[in-house]
């Protein structure tokens, strides 16, 4: 019986020119397809080729162009193919294995780079992403639930893909060594290889950029390694002297300050303002909620704040706010977490503790971190009271990612419990869970939150939802529904648990994944809500506008600036009349160069 390999190789020897160039084109195209398929918002060039004249047209055709189209050329693949065709001594198994390994490495890196640039808007950095994967992959696998079938399917698809790639490489090498390969074809591959060498010499590390027509895996790896070493150096060389000086507030200076609820809202991003359908529904929702709050005497003021992360990494967003410095990568976060087990970071929670507050932290997910990990977390942030899933007496179903409890129950239960434990001023922190991707299913919003603790009746199984099977238009509706649920839930929380001596600060952690794009930016809404008009007015000088909707998409506030903003406003209202107001640091205690800001060109 003739094998599939023999069936393909025989025609290859009969038609080597078609086989060689077909295999070369297919292999080359595969290296640029991942970014094209994932880069939904950057697929087309910014302008027609000939808009700027023939020089610009040639530049866009052969050197550099914006977008993620796959019509580019791999320098390594082209050089390997040319060497195989022209250097007979190399035509053997060792070089074939070497070519296959180089190509598979290039394809893996292309997928890795495409996912980072398009899904998470991150620059490739081995040092950062390996630590991120190490710390979060176990949690990801644990919460996949029935999606293990998807993982098995992925392994099968990967196996088939690798087999097809090896077959294409075999076709390329077999045809490239065939006597029937036309001289014109040999000259053409040599010419392409020469042009690739010229590009390497002329543009060097620029060939690592996705916008370059000639793309080099070698320079991509070099840039990644250099960036990884630089990040490692910066993390290890961090000096907190500026932070300690910036947040050296006078203990006990505040008199009769309000309870403060700092609540981060998962995936609550400014994309809601930036798409016509989102914007219309979102503004109507804000108007409704603002009216509901006003009926109970609550006022609000709002702005935007720039998050250090996009589409994920919530812990880096709220850590930046609590520490007052930009935390935008996993190595930096872990370095701070490890160092400040013995040393003390002047976090917002610890600073407010020194002002007489009790710092309470709610973590609603049913985690397996263990006591030691939570002790480390408490020491790092300066937490006085930690409320975990086991403390909530919750027996209801889990919703969405991680099987999270109903936010309406967890927040109300925690706040009601804390209120019953004393009159000490309270600083309460948490992040909501029910607006986490995939945004379905959602819990019901009920009149009595206590009823949500009971097990669900029937065959309710939130984990059975397959997010990959949901149409994109439905995902967008699910996202709006999830944000609507969270904001309605928080409005009820404010009405039922708040009083005249309460300040609520609601902040989005980052833009939502999947339904937002690079062009939507890194900003998230921030709302200040209180019954005291003076507290609301105090935020006006810092770019806040009255109400829940913002008047301008421009902002100077970053998440790491929230710490100093709150302390400056609190000191102005509740500190001694003769005390100097602390500085407002919109980008945190450590000034950032423009290139370090989210979305800046690297």
Q: How many domains does the chain have?
A: 2
Residue 458 reports pLDDT greater than 70: no
Q: Is residue 411 part of a domain?
A: yes
Task: Please report which helix (H) or strand (E) contains residue 301, including its range.
Answer: strand 299-306
Instruction: Please name the residue ranges forming H helices in 204-256.
Output: 217-236, 241-246
Do residue 229 and residue 270 come from a single domain? no
376 within a domain of the structure (yes/no): yes
Lowest model confidence (mean pLDDT) among 102-106, 117-121, 129-133: 117-121
Same domain assignment for residues 61 and 197: yes
Q: Are residues 493 and 542 in the same domain?
A: yes
Average pLDDT, integer, range 283-306: 97
Tell me, yes or no, whether 228 and 115 share the same domain: yes
Residue after which a domain boundary falls, among 185, 213, 233: 233
Please report the pLDDT score of residue 54 as a whole number: 66
What is the chain's mean pLDDT, rounded? 87
Residues 170 and 215 in one domain: yes
Pair 172, 219 in one domain: yes
Q: Please report whether residue 241 resides in a domain.
A: no
Res 80: pLDDT: 96
- The stretch 187-205 carries a mean pLDDT of 94
For residues 265 and 229, membership in a common domain is answered with: no
pLDDT at 217 over 70: yes
In a shared domain, residues 272 and 228: no
Model confidence at 11, pLDDT cuts 50, 70, 90, reads low
| pLDDT at residue 47 greater than cutoff 70 | no
Cβ-based neighbours of 83, under 8 Å, separated by 6 or more = 90, 95, 193
240 found inside a domain: no
Verify that 138 and 285 share a domain, yes or no: no
Residue 153: what pLDDT? Answer: 61
Statement to judge: residues 72 and 207 lie in one domain: yes
Question: Which DSSP category does 545 fall into?
Answer: E
Span 503-517, pLDDT tens digits = 999 999 999 998 998
- CATH at residue 333: 3.40.720.10
Q: How do residues 79-104 score in pLDDT, each as one tens digit?
A: 999 999 999 999 999 999 999 999 99
pLDDT classification of 179: cutoffs 50, 70, 90: confident
pLDDT in tens, 418-448: 988 878 999 999 999 999 999 999 999 999 9
Is pLDDT of 223 > 60? yes
- pLDDT higher for 13 or 236? 236
3-state secondary structure of 456: coil
The pLDDT, as a whole number, for residue 45 is 42
Residue where a domain terminates, one of 189, 213, 233: 233
- Residue 255 domain flag: no
302 assigned to some structural domain: yes
What per-residue confidence (pLDDT) applies to 43?
A: 41
Tell whether 601 is covered by a domain: no
Buried b (16+ CB within 10 A) or exposed e, 21-34: bbbbeebbebbbeb
Q: Which of 213, 233, 253 lies at the terminal end of a domain, its last residue?
A: 233
Token pair recorded at residue 328: 């935008």
Is there a contact between 320 and 327 (Cβ–Cβ < 8 Å)? yes
Asked, for residue 63, whether it belongs to a domain, the answer is yes
pLDDT value for 150: 52
Residues 152, 66, single domain; the answer is yes
Same-domain status, 323 and 197: no
- pTM for this model (two decimals): 0.81
- Long-range contacts of range 534-542, CB-CB < 8 Å, 24 or more positions apart? 534/573, 535/258, 535/503, 535/569, 535/573, 536/299, 536/300, 536/301, 537/301, 538/569, 538/572, 538/573, 539/301, 539/303, 539/565, 539/569, 540/301, 542/303, 542/584, 542/586
- pLDDT tens digits, one per residue of 562-581: 999 999 999 999 999 888 99
Q: Given this model, what pLDDT does residue 593 score?
A: 39
Instruction: Show the domain range for 439.
Output: 261-591
Decide: 303 and 586 in contact? Cβ < 8 Å: no
pLDDT of residue 400: 80
The reported pLDDT for the residue numbered 118 is 77
């Amino acid at each position: 019986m003739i094998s599939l390999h023999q069936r393909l190789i025989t025609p290859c020897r009969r038609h080597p020119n078609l086989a060689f160039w077909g295999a070369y084109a297919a292999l080359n195209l595969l290296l640029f397809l991942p970014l094209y398929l994932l880069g939904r918002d950057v697929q087309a060039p910014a302008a027609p080729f000939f808009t700027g004249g023939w020089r610009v047209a040639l530049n866009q055709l052969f050197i550099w162009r914006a977008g993620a189209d796959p019509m580019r050329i791999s320098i390594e693949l082209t050089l390997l193919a040319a060497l195989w065709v022209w250097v007979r001594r190399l035509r053997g198994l060792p070089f074939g294995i070497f070519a296959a390994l180089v190509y598979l490495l290039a394809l893996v890196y292309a997928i890795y780079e495409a996912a980072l640039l398009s899904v998470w808007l991150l620059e490739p950095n081995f040092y950062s992403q390996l630590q991120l994967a190490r710390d979060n992959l176990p949690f990801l696998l644990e919460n996949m639930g029935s999606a293990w079938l998807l993982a098995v399917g992925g392994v099968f698809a990967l196996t088939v893909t690798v087999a097809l790639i090896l077959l294409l490489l075999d076709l390329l090498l077999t045809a490239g060594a065939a006597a029937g390969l036309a001289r014109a074809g040999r000259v053409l591959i040599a010419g392409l290889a020469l042009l690739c060498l010229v590009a390497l010499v002329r543009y060097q590390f620029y060939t690592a950029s996705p916008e370059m027509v000639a793309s080099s895996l070698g320079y991509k790896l070099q840039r990644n390694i250099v960036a990884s070493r630089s990040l490692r150096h910066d993390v290890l060389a961090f000096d907190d002297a500026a932070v300690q000086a910036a947040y050296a507030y006078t203990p006990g200076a505040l008199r009769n300050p309000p309870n403060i609820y700092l609540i981060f809202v998962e995936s609550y991003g400014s994309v809601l303002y930036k798409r016509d359908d989102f914007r219309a529904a979102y503004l109507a929702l804000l108007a409704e909620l603002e009216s509901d709050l006003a009926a109970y005497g609550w006022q609000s003021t709002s702005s935007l704040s720039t998050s250090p992360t996009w589409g994920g990494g919530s812990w880096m967003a709220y850590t930046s706010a609590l520490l007052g410095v930009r935390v935008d990568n996993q190595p930096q976060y872990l370095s701070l977490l490890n160092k400040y087990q013995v040393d003390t970071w002047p976090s917002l929670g610890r600073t407010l503790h020194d002002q007489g507050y009790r710092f309470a932290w709610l973590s609603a997910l049913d985690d397996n971190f263990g006591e030691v990990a939570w002790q480390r977390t408490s020491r790092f942030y300066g937490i006085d009271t930690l409320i975990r899933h086991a403390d909530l007496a919750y027996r209801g179903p889990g919703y969405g990612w991680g099987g999270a409890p109903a936010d309406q129950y967890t927040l109300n239960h925690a706040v009601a419990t804390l209120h019953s434990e004393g009159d000490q001023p309270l600083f309460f922190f948490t992040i909501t869970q029910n607006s986490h991707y995939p945004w379905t299913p959602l819990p019901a919003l009920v009149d009595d939150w206590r009823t949500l603790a009971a097990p669900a009746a029937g065959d309710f199984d939130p984990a059975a939802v397959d997010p990959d099977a949901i149409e994109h238009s439905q995902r967008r509706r699910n996202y709006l529904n999830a944000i609507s649920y969270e904001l309605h839930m928080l409005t009820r929380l404010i009405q039922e648990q708040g009083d005249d001596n309460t300040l609520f600060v609601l902040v989005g952690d980052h833009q939502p994944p999947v339904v937002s794009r690079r062009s939507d930016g890194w900003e998230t809404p921030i709302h200040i809500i209180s019954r005291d008009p003076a507290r609301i007015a105090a935020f006006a000088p810092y770019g806040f506008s009255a109400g829940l909707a913002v008047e301008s998409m421009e902002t100077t506030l970053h998440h790491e600036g929230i710490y100093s903003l709150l302390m400056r406003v609190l000191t102005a209202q509740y500190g001694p009349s003769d005390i100097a107001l602390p500085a407002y640091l919109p980008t945190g205690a450590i000034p950032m160069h423009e290139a370090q800001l989210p979305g800046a060109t690297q």
